Structure formats: structure tokens, C-alpha cells
Amino acid sequence: MGWGVSYGLLFALLRISFTSAQCGSPQTFSHATPESSDISSPVGTELVYHCNAGYEFITGSNSHTVECLAGNSWEVITDCERVYCPVFPGDVVTDPSNAIQFGDVVELSCPDMNTEKLLGAKINEKLSVTCTSNKTWDNWDGEITDGCLPIECVNPLDAHSVGDSADTARYTSVSFTCDTGYLYSDGSSTKLFTCNADAEWESGGNTNWSCIPQPCADLRSMNALEHVALEPNTSLVGVEVTLTCHTGYTFPDSSVQVTALCYGNQTWSIQPVDCEPKVCPEIFNVSNANASTTDNWYPTEVNFTCFPSFTFLDGSTVRSTQCNQYGRWSEVIPPCGEPLEVDVGYQEVSVDAEGAQSFGIVALSIIGVIIVLLVAADALTFGMQLAVLKENLKYWQKKDDDLVSLDGEEMMRASTVSLGLAHMILSTE
């Protein structure tokens, strides 16, 4: 019984202990929201809060992380506060004077609205601006450091004009001249302007004047450029155009490419002339032939025609050559010559010629007979000599017994002679 009560009490205490090691629901704020709203979180749990738009924590951050501490409570933080917009320069009057936080609407003005004005405002005009969530003032054209500005005109009139004085005050007059290549819309290049009460340059009752770029004259038509390529093919002010001669053509200085810059107002940096065809050496002479032309520029073709009764080596009577893109003739033409005469017609043979032919045949026959007789005589003589050699061989063969009695040296000599004769006779047979 005692032990049962003790175990039950211990279990209850442990349960209370584990149950109490929890943080309750997270804090709630007007301008911050937690990522989780669990009503119970173990010790050590982290929770992230995010500020609403236009608000931030005192640390300047839009988010903050809190932890469930060992005392079963969440880390304490404060609510998010409105962000601040930049403070206006001291010469700007603000109403209300201390309103610079998110959502505040402020009216801006200058101390003397007759001599000063706000950037982006007209003369005597006040501006109403609002502090936004990204810490900037809306409806404000300039940097926050730009306060009240003197009421004056901007000099020069625009980026492509220059004035004869640096005056900018109201009611002063300045003559503005457009840059080269630029004109006013009425075609003039110089105008007298007066800075009016609204600090705008005015001329002839109009305040919308500006210097307008004027294109150059068309290069191709202006200079009759027939053998030139333009890249780019435009006449805009400030554009540089590359002019390239067509194949087989050059500019008068022998170059094939130049550049021209459009200054505007019909003016180019150069006035190019058209490209000229390349020139070959003067046409050469061909013996016994006429040339179709004496022109020698690209791409002239010259035909050479042989005189009557004359031809080229290949039997043709016309050959051509052309002045190519490199200023050279494509072919050197050989001279024309008289053709070779070959008579293949029938000719009557005279009686004298027939007799000469017969005599020649008889003479050739006699010479042939003599040659045959000489060959036969030589063959007979050779046969007789061969018979004598055979008899000698037989004689030496009968003397074999006598050769036994000869000493060694004589026998060797006799055998050598005998064998040599036998070999010669057998080879002739």
C-alpha cells in the first residue's frame, strides 16, 4: 500500500514536471505576426515574427526570432514601429513639421515662393508627398537633398545648343545657336530666347523649341556613286559610313575603301567620287591579226582575228583575252601563221618517171641476188672448215694409246687441247 502510493505520487510529479516544461501561446502584436500560433511549444522552440508593411523592429529589421525559455515563457520583444522617411532639407517648409513616418502626408513649400520653387513643381506650387513603406517620399522628382531651387531657366537650351551668355535669371534674353548638323523646327540655326516668369525659355510665344538633327545629303545620289557599296546605307547625323568599291574598281588614289562621317545639315566629312575600273597594260600586238578594240580597263574583252590565209597553231582564226579584276590580261595571244600546205590530190605519172621506176626495181633485184650469193659462199667455206676440224678430232682420238707414254705434264697439255677442240666442234654442230 505504501509503495503503491509512493509510485503514484512520483508519476504525478513527473507528469506535472514534463507538462510544465512548455511555453503557451506566442505573444500577439498589432504590427507583427508570428509564423506559428501553437498554444503549446516545448522549451527551446524558436518562433519567427514578421513586421507588417511599413513597419520594422527597433533593430531596423523586418523579422525577429524568439525562443521558448527554460522558465516556460517566450523571449520578450516589442511590437514593430513605423518606418521613417528621410528628413527634408532645412530650406523646405513641411506641414506638419514632424511628420516623417510611414503613412504621413506632408505638404512642402519654399520660404519665398516668388523667387524659389521645389524641384518638379511649378512656380508658386506646393507639393503634397507621402512617406511610403520603402522609406521614400512619393511624388518627389529629385534627390532628397534637393531643396528649394532658384526660379531660373536652364542654360543651354538643350544638349545640342550653345548660348551667347550664361544668364539664367527670369526676364533675361539669350541667343542660342544649334550645333552643326542641327536646326530648329523652322529651319533656322539661331534664335533669341527670353526666360519667362515660369522659368522657361520662350521665343515667338513658343516654349517648345529644341535643336533637331538634320540628315546629310544622300552620298550615292550626291556623288553619282555607281560602283560603290555603302555600309550602313544611311545619312543620319553622327553615323560613319564605310564606302567599298565593287570588284575590279578602285578610288582614284588606288584605295578600295574609305569612310565618311555625317556632320549633319547636308555636310559629310569627305566628298567621295565614284570608283574607277582597274586598268590593264596597253593591249599588245599579235602578228598577222587585228584587235577588236584598244580599250584596256576592267572588264574589257579583246578579240584577235587572224588575217586571211593565216591561223593560230590550233587552226582557229579568233582568240580572245580579258582585262581581269587584278589589272592583268587573262591570256597572252600567240601570233597567227601561214597554214602548212599538204597536197593529197592525184598526180599523173610521166613516161620518164615510169622508166626510172623500172630501172630502180631491176637494180634492187641485182643487189639482192649478190647479197644472197655472198651469204651462200660464206656458209660453204664455214662447212669445209668444220669438216677439217672433225677429221682432226678423229685423229687425236686414235692416238689415245700413244698419249699414255707421255709424261704427266705433256699428257695434261694434250688433254687440254683435245677437250678444247672437242668442245668447239660440238658447239658448232
Of the listed ranges 116-125, 141-150, 263-272, the least confidently predicted one is: 141-150
- Running DSSP on this structure, what letter comes out for residue 74? B
Residues 6+ apart with CB under 8 A from 124: 113, 114, 117
C-alpha cell at 31: 504590427
Angle of helix 351-398 relative to helix 408-428, nearest 10 degrees? Answer: 150
- Running DSSP on this structure, what letter comes out for residue 4? H
Is 188 contained in some domain?
yes
At 175-209, the pLDDT tens digits run 999 988 889 999 999 999 999 988 899 999 999 99
Is 386 contained in some domain?
no
- Is the pLDDT at 396 greater than 60? The verdict is no
Residue 312: give its domain's CATH number. Answer: 2.10.70.10
Distance CA 190, CA 183 (A): 8
Q: Is the same domain home to 89 and 78?
A: no
Is 395 contained in some domain?
no
At 65-86, the pLDDT tens digits run 999 999 889 999 999 999 999 9
Domain edge (last residue) among 295, 312, 340? 340
Residues 6+ apart with CB under 8 A from 217: 235, 266, 268
Q: Is the same domain home to 226 and 258?
A: yes
Is 296 contained in some domain?
yes
Q: Is the same domain home to 35 and 46?
A: yes
- Please state the rounded mean pLDDT for residues 319-324: 96
Q: 99 and 128 in contact (C-beta within 8 Å)?
A: no
How high is the pLDDT of residue 121? 82
Is 75 contained in some domain?
yes
Q: Which of 4, 7, 26, 23 is nearest to 15 (CA)?
A: 7
| CA 299 to each of CA 157, 318, 324: distance values in angstroms, whole numbers, following the listed order | 57, 19, 6
Q: 178 and 184 in contact (C-beta within 8 Å)?
A: yes
Is 226 contained in some domain?
yes
Number of domains in the chain: 5
- Please state the rounded mean pLDDT for residues 120-136: 90
Domain edge (last residue) among 66, 82, 98? 82
Q: Is the same domain home to 107 and 136?
A: yes
Distance CA 42, CA 36 (A): 13
> Which residues form the domain of 195?
161-213
- Is the pLDDT at 351 greater than 50? The verdict is no
Is 382 contained in some domain?
no
- Is the pLDDT at 318 greater than 90? The verdict is yes
Is 409 contained in some domain?
no
C-alpha cell at 315: 587552226
C-alpha cell at 347: 598526180
Range among 20-24, 186-190, 215-219, 400-404 with highest mean pLDDT value: 186-190
| pLDDT confidence tier of residue 426, bands split at 50, 70 and 90 | very low
Handedness of CA 249, 251, 252, 254 (dihedral sign): negative
User: Which residue in the block uniquely carries the three cell numbers 600546205?
Assistant: 341
Domain edge (last residue) among 274, 296, 311? 274
CA quadruple 123, 124, 127, 128: dihedral, nearest 10 = -160
| pLDDT confidence tier of residue 381, bands split at 50, 70 and 90 | low
Q: Is the same domain home to 282 and 258?
A: no
> Whole-prediction pTM value?
0.42
Q: Which of 273, 268, 272 is nearest to 216 (CA)?
A: 268
What is the share, in percent, of the chain residues with pLDDT greater than 70?
76
